[in-house]
A and B are shown apart, each in its own frame.
Chain A
Amino acid sequence: NAGVTQTPKFQVLKTGQSMTLQCAQDMNHNSMYWYRQDPGMGLRLIYYSASEGTTDKGEVPNGYNVSRLNKREFSLRLESAAPSQTSVYFCASSTGLAGLLNHNEQFFGPGTRLTVL
């Protein structure tokens, strides 16, 4: 199993350009997440998808859109990139199941380093 994969690993954009970050998981997880991490900071949730067909805003959704393409894939789109969106972006997935014996542990991808000039 590859776990959670993200593409691309690195990207440089100019202000105003658009791009889509791709994420896929092969663990048959229901829930998927997009986070950003700025230097020296913790992770901040951008959007999440509790299950296929649903998406919800997290802590910092402005400037982003997401698509839960199917159970495996969850993409993040920057329509008009801004320097403030320079960050490392992490995708994660979890079973999304509640229960005393279920940690709902989140599995993270390797991240995408995005620089907006």
Chain B
Amino acid sequence: LAKTTQPISMDSYEGQEVNITCSHNNIATNDYITWYQQFPSQGPRFIIQGYKTKVTNEVASLFIPADRKSSTLSLPRVSLSDTAVYYCLVGRGGSQGNLIFGKGTKLSVKP
């Protein structure tokens, strides 16, 4: 299973763009990169998934370089409500049991 490494915590201010980078040196050919968001006292929520290059949805963008050994979640113009823990996961898109949630990155957005 591909292990991921991401910063334990990050601070930002409202209105700024936040980039959270995840390292996954041992990513396999069939693996996708998925990000989840978790608010306190809630279960995680899917944000975005990608395989290579760039993926964008209404919430975030995901940048994946050609070697796929890392990825960057970009949150545009964060607000206080974006304060949460963000998890980077690597695994097959259709996999059932081999997604591993690490400790995630705790993002704190300040006014």
Closest to A35 in B: B101
Chain A positions 71 through 99: 1 when the CB is less than 8 Å from some CB of chain B, otherwise 0: 00000000000000000001010101111
Number of A-B pairs whose CB atoms are under 8 Å? Answer: 70
Please report which residues of chain B, range 29-61, place their CB below 8 angstroms from some CB of chain A when the two chains form the complex.
Answer: 32, 34, 36, 41-46, 49
Residue with the highest number of chain B CB atoms closer than 10 Å, among A35, A43, A44, A59? A43
Binds A, one of B20-28, B63-71, B75-83, B89-97: B89-97
The interface residues of chain B lying within 8 Å CB-to-CB of A96 are 94, 96
Residues of B contacting A45 with CB < 8 Å?
97, 99-100
Nearest B residue to A50, CB-CB: B96
**Count class of interface residues, chain A:** 20 to 34
Which A residues touch B101, using CB under 8 A?
Answer: 35, 42-44
Cβ B96 vs Cβ A111 within 8 A: no
B87 closest partner in A (C-beta):
A42
Q: Is A65 an interface residue (CB 8 A)?
A: no
* A103 with B34, Cβ < 8 A, contacts A42-B101, A50-B97 known: yes
Using A41-B103, A99-B94 as known contacts, list a sample of 6 further A-B pairs with CB atoms less than 8 Å apart, ordered by residue number in A. Answer: A42-B104, A92-B43, A96-B94, A97-B94, A104-B96, A110-B42
